[in-house]
Structure 1
Amino acid sequence: MSPQPESTLPQEDLQLYLQRLGYERAPAPTLDSLRELQRRHSHAFVFETINSLLQAPIPIDLPSLRRKLLHDGRGGYCYELNGLFLTLLQQLGFQARGLTGRVLMGGPEDAVTARTHLVALVEIDRERWIADVGFGGMVPTGPLRLDETGEQTTPHEPYRLERRDAGQYLLRAKVGEEWRAMYVFDLAPQEQIDYVVGNWYVSSHPQSPFRGQLFVARTGPGWRKTLNNDSYAVHRLGQPSERRELAGADEVIEVLREQFGLRLPDEAALREAIGRQRAA
């Protein structure tokens, strides 16, 4: 028989993960803990698509996730960030499982896109919450009550969930005075193979919006930082965004290191990929 895939974090990695999130010991599986875990995670772990820019493989098995995120000084995208976060929640005693969604941000709301986003459904005291630490520059920094249709506050922008036909939910974020569609999802049970298929599309399909592109995001108290290829921005709540275009690979690499705190892979390959993207 083949060995079963690893499904829990080794104790030393669990402790390292909690330390990265500012915990000396494991928090209890409560709503207050979930709120803190989600807020801290979006600050401590960067959303980044460096491997997509390099057109390198993006494995999402647990050993690969803990090596990249906990030991290599890197971030990741939804299948990586939410994949590891979901493992953490389950190991802390939360009743949590994965869901998949179709991203609508920046496109028409009636589009039928591929299932390429992973989020967590968490049940606490018979109430269901959506927890997401992997939605790039618009990641919700607090859990959202699934059965609440009104505006819900987070440490950053307000969000709301709308019911759609066929058991679907639409997530919106309030950007300025506009409620923008983020993604649509349902509660259908998912298995690891579903994440593998979605991850393959995001990382490898020629029509994937991530392939060959660099998107980076991080949050902090009252701010978001984003990098879209060579456009760097700082967004502060209630203030105009500050943007600047980066002149070349040196500036991009400096921002990745200094503003996002990333430990970078092969710098020569990264410089080449940045140049290739700029020339496209």
Structure 2
Amino acid sequence: MTSPSLKDSALYLERLGYAAAPPPTLETLRQLVQRHTQTFSFETINTFLHLPVPVDLSSLERKLLHDGRGGYCYELNHLFLALLHHLGFDARALTGRVVMGGPEDAITARTHLVVLVTVDGAPYIADVGFGGMVPTAPLRLDTEAVQSTPHEPYRIIRQGEAFLLSAEVTGEWRAMYRFDLQPQELVDLEVGNWYVATHPDSSFRGRLTAARTGAGLRKTLQGNRFTVHRLGTPSEHHSLSSVDDIVAVLRNEFGIRVPAQPELRLAMERLLEREQQAA
């Protein structure tokens, strides 16, 4: 799959801290992955409101670069893939089956977009769109050794024609997703994204989530529960009790320009009512 050309590459690079295009090296890839996960938040405001999630490049540039929003894997990794092509990287799209929180051999739908990048003949997985457990460094594909990142250690285990990505969390290895090297075309991404955005069984539909990394920490929002995970220390949990509190966290902690839509405030009010009833 070849992505269309970026129209706003200079703005994209500026958001990532570059005054000029960096060379397509492994060190550049490392910096891009780390900076991207710190700059562009994972968020599901559109699916929370049951709104469409277009993944054509023009829509992604407008949403992430001009509207001050984030997105999920089909948005973040698709735009990132276009940037890698613009910089001269050898990169292509892959899709994966998320198994986090369940059996690692579960047969789930292909609902995760990830990027395969080849640098100096070596294959790496680059993923800037896996929510609260996004790997913050590229991961080499041709080894099963534990690989360090600025956050948790990860490893990739070969399983026949597939690969299993796991992360070490509080001393325990937890499976994240399985993927293979089957080439993906734009239509494959559109179908997967349509499922994630619209299928009644999608875990994102009607659900408000956000995630962002920082130096030595991860921030996550699940409904009205805001958590800061710091490396080596207990996590900080905060229960948000008002719509204004949720909006403030989205703006100040995740850098999201929250849409001024009455429907969004109403959806957040209903979310808080459900949480209060469940308490």
The TM tier, using the shorter chain, reads over 0.9
The Cα shift of 1:119 comes to 0.5
1:194-249 residue CA offsets vs partner (Å, 9 max, x unmatched)? 00000000000000000000110000110110000111000111111000111121
Code of the aligned partner of 1:36: Q
Instruction: Confirm or deny: 8 A CA contact 2:153 2:167 kept in the other structure.
Output: yes
Instruction: Confirm or deny: 8 A CA contact 1:78 1:135 kept in the other structure.
Output: yes
1:9 to 6, 14, 32: 6
The Cα shift of 1:254 comes to 1.1
> What's the TM-score once normalised by structure 2's chain length?
0.96
Aligned residue in 2 for 1:117: 112
Instruction: Confirm or deny: 8 A CA contact 1:6 1:63 kept in the other structure.
Output: no
Aligned residue in 2 for 1:266: 260
2:158 to 147, 152, 163: 163
1:79 to 64, 68, 74: 74
The Cα shift of 1:250 comes to 1.6
**Structure 2: distance between partners of 1:223 and 1:116:** 26
Q: 1:22-33 maps to which residues of 2 (within 5 A)? A: 22-33=17-28
The Cα shift of 1:251 comes to 1.1
1:13-69 residue CA offsets vs partner (Å, 9 max, x unmatched)? 100000000001000000000000000000010000000111100000000000000
2:233 to 239, 248, 258: 239
Code of the aligned partner of 1:30: T
In structure 2, the CA distance between the partners of 1:6 and 1:191, relative to structure 1 (3 Å rule), is: closer
Aligned residue in 2 for 1:92: 87
Aligned residue in 2 for 1:205: 199
**Structure 1: distance between partners of 2:260 and 2:49:** 10
**Structure 1: distance between partners of 2:3 and 2:114:** 20
Task: Report percent identity of matched pairs.
Answer: 61
Aligned residue in 2 for 1:39: 34
CA-based RMSD of the aligned residues comes to 1.1
SS of match in other structure, 1:212: coil
Aligned residue in 1 for 2:277: none
Instruction: Confirm or deny: 8 A CA contact 1:212 1:277 kept in the other structure.
Output: no
**Structure 1: distance between partners of 2:131 and 2:78:** 14
1:191 aligns with 2:185: yes
**Structure 1: distance between partners of 2:157 and 2:242:** 42
**Structure 2: distance between partners of 1:50 and 1:73:** 12
Aligned residue in 2 for 1:64: 59
Aligned residue in 2 for 1:107: 102
**Structure 2: distance between partners of 1:217 and 1:158:** 18
Code of the aligned partner of 1:159: Y
SS of match in other structure, 1:123: strand
2:222 to 222, 225, 228: 228
The Cα shift of 1:271 comes to 1.0
**Structure 2: distance between partners of 1:49 and 1:170:** 25
Instruction: Confirm or deny: 8 A CA contact 2:213 2:219 kept in the other structure.
Output: yes
Range with greater deviation from structure 2 (268-277 or 83-92): 268-277
The Cα shift of 1:147 comes to 0.7
SS of match in other structure, 2:204: coil
Code of the aligned partner of 2:143: E
1:174 to 168, 183, 187: 168
> What's the TM-score once normalised by structure 1's chain length?
0.95
1:248 to 242, 258, 261: 242
SS of match in other structure, 2:83: helix
Instruction: Confirm or deny: 8 A CA contact 1:215 1:226 kept in the other structure.
Output: yes
The Cα shift of 1:267 comes to 3.6
1:131 to 119, 126, 148: 126
Aligned residue in 2 for 1:21: 16
**Structure 2: distance between partners of 1:192 and 1:74:** 22
**Structure 1: distance between partners of 2:146 and 2:41:** 26
**Structure 2: distance between partners of 1:141 and 1:85:** 14
**Structure 1: distance between partners of 2:225 and 2:44:** 15
